[in-house]
Amino acid sequence: MAKNTKARHDDLRKRLIDLAEKTVEAEGLSALRARDLANKAGCSVGAIYNVLTDMNTLTLHVNGRTFKRLGIAVAASIADKADLPPRDRLIALSLAYLDFANNNFKAWTALFDIEMTAGPDVPEWYQNALNELFRHINGPVREIYPEMGKIDSDLMTRGLFSSIHGIVLLGLQRRISGVPQEEMARMITLILSNLSK
Amino acid sequence: MAKNTKARHDDLRKRLIDLAEKTVEAEGLSALRARDLANKAGCSVGAIYNVLTDMNTLTLHVNGRTFKRLGIAVAASIADKADLPPRDRLIALSLAYLDFANNNFKAWTALFDIEMTAGPDVPEWYQNALNELFRHINGPVREIYPEMGKIDSDLMTRGLFSSIHGIVLLGLQRRISGVPQEEMARMITLILSNLSK
DNA sequence: CCCTCTCAGTGAACGGTGTTCAGAATGTAA
DNA sequence: TTACATTCTGAACACCGTTCACTGAGAGGG
């Protein structure tokens, strides 16, 4: 029965993450409540804590899935575009990022709404997921700036990602007036098109 | 006494905002609690609600002050640099933004941590404060791209602000590995220096 | 078949939020 | 002093995540 318990635990854990993912996608991270979740899963509140250490780690699991989907969507955007000029590949990547954030707004928001006060460092899988995104950007960057040293081209890569992220973030949160949805794509294109050299 | 109460209310409101500002600066938005605040102000919890509709509006007041300080800091960075080339002025503005966010990290974070789910629109003063920042950016942008139409140059302005914001945000939150403090300035400089035309 | 005995699962209870509102306290006027 | 109006108070409420003393179902031996 030790084996049996583990199987039941694994099963419950998976169901909880599935349900949490649906909730986050539909209503956002703030709608993820322990009692509601237990209710939907047909278990007690306590059962959640038999299987997951925290509500926070549950969110981490959901975010892990979101990051995976994000990575796939971004990679797909340049899968058949290897022959395009590097600037156009950067634009394609960025628009895919915008598109994903827009179509999965609440799940995408949850990626950055989570607490990360524990220590100076972020979970490893989070770093890995970001590094995966960086890899895609780094190729075009090195093509555009072949003379640039590795340190600077890495900085440029992270800087470009952060820039696009900032545009998408402030735009989708409607924190900046006069940036309707359809203009965000143009904003991204404008900035990336004007990268010199 | 109607006058008298108004004066007392105004006084209490001011003291509450002062105390809240200190708390947010020292410990962050999450440390702002109604009971603690009442304790520090020497009043009852209920008194807060006689004078402020909400804990959220209290945060808005604090954020208003932070935005004002931010605006002053950013404006000061180019006050004596009118003769510099536009790209250098953009860099000065951006580094001032980075500097302010770094030196007032918790208060600056609070600017964007606040709930804005109420309706599709953000408070008016928030928009005004942002527009003030945009004005500073718009000048150099129009100098760099004199042939650009107003619509596009406005998009470029907002896009550049969002970009710098994204770099500062992800960098200071340590959400991106390998971007130590001193390299963020270089990251910003790299990107802005490579704006073409 | 029954009786232990173990242990996973339960949900009431705990500590912590923001917010409210019946009543106490204070002030005003007759 | 008394009657009334106004202001202020803090216990109580609703709602979080989290815990832990209990329950009850199932295993194994007699």
pLDDT tens, position by position, for chain B (197 residues)?
A: 556 888 899 999 999 999 999 999 999 999 999 999 999 999 999 999 999 999 999 999 999 999 999 999 999 999 999 999 999 999 999 999 999 999 999 999 999 998 765 455 567 878 888 899 999 999 999 999 999 999 999 999 999 999 999 999 999 987 776 667 788 999 999 999 988 75
A83 and A174 fall within a common domain: yes
CA A20 to each of CA A35, A156, B131: distance values in angstroms, whole numbers, following the listed order: 12, 36, 38
Question: A138 and A88 share a domain?
Answer: yes
CA distance B82 to B76: 11
Measured distance CA(B91)–CA(B193) in Å, rounded = 8
**Amino acid, single-letter form, for residue B173:** Q
Are A75 and A167 in a shared domain?
yes
Please state the separation of Cα A83 from the chain's center in Å.
Answer: 27
Q: Whose CA is nearest the C1' atom of nucleotide D26?
A: A1
The answer for residues whose C-beta is within 8 angstroms of residue B69's C-beta and 6 or more apart is B100, B104
Does one domain contain both B41 and B91?
no
How far is it, in rounded angstroms, from Cα B89 to Cα B81?
7
Residue A94 belongs to some domain of the structure: yes
Instruction: For residue A39, give its domain range.
Output: 1-52
Determine, for residues A166 and B167 on separate chains, whether the beta-carbon distance falls below 8 Å.
yes
Q: Is residue A131 part of a domain?
A: yes
Identify whether B171 is part of a domain: yes
Are the C-beta atoms of A107 and A66 separated by less than 8 Å?
A: yes
Decide if A182 is inside a domain. yes
Whether residue A158 contacts residue A114, with contact meaning beta carbons closer than 8 Å, is answered with: no
Which residues face A195 on adjacent strands? B195
Inform me whether the pLDDT recorded for A3 exceeds 80. Answer: no
Same domain, B189 and B116: yes
pTM: 0.93
Task: Provide the percentage of residues in chain A whose pLDDT is more than 70.
Answer: 92
Q: Six-digit token pair at B19?
A: 């105390």
Does a structural domain hold residue A59?
Answer: no
Domain co-membership, A147 together with A76: yes
Contact between residue B106 and residue B24 where contact means Cβ atoms under 8 Å apart: yes
State how many domains chain A has: 2
- Does one domain contain both B108 and B81? yes
Chain B residues whose CB is inside 8 A of the A183 CB are: 155
**CATH label of the domain that carries residue B113:** 1.10.357.10
Mean pLDDT of chain A: 91
* pLDDT of res. A41: 97
Of the candidates B155, B188, B196, the beta carbon closest to that of A196 is on B196
3 state SS of B161: helix
Q: Answer for B44: CB within 7 Å of strand D.
A: yes
B23 and B88 share one domain: no
Q: Is residue A23 part of a domain?
A: yes
Task: Judge if A48 and A71 occupy the same domain.
Answer: no
Looking at residue B182, its pLDDT comes to: 80
Could you tell me which chain A residue has the CA closest to the CA of B191?
A156
Of the three residues A52, A78, A93, the one that is the final residue of a domain is A52
| CATH code, domain carrying B6 | 1.10.10.60
- pLDDT tens-digit map of A76-104: 999 999 999 999 999 999 999 999 999 99
Does position A120 have pLDDT exceeding 60, yes or no?
no
CB atoms within 10 A of CB A135: 12
Q: Mind listing the pLDDT tens digit for each residue in B41-56?
A: 999 999 999 999 999 9
